[in-house]
Amino acid sequence: MTYAAHFSSADAVMVHLNTFVPGLAPDLQAQYTGFAAVSAVTVYELAIKEILIEFSRRKHQVFGYYVQDQYDRINGRIGLKSLRNEHIPKFGQKYLSRFEKLLEIEERGALVNLGGSVKASYGNIVTWRHEFAHEGRVPGNATFLEATRAYELGKKVIDCLARTMTR
* pLDDT of 167 strictly over 80: no
pLDDT in tens, 82-134: 999 999 999 999 999 999 999 999 999 999 999 999 999 999 999 999 999 88
Cα separation of 111 and 120, whole Å? 11
What phi and psi, each to the nearest 5 degrees, are found at residue 162? -65, -40
Total domains in the fold of the chain: 1
- All residues at 6 or more sequence positions from 16 whose CB lies less than 8 Å from its CB, including other chains: none
Residues spanned by the domain of 80:
3-164
pLDDT in tens, 32-42: 999 999 999 99
Contact 28, 68 (CB under 8 A): no
Task: Output the CA–CA distances (angstroms, integers) from residue 45 to 10, 23, 77, 126, in the order listed.
Answer: 12, 30, 8, 10
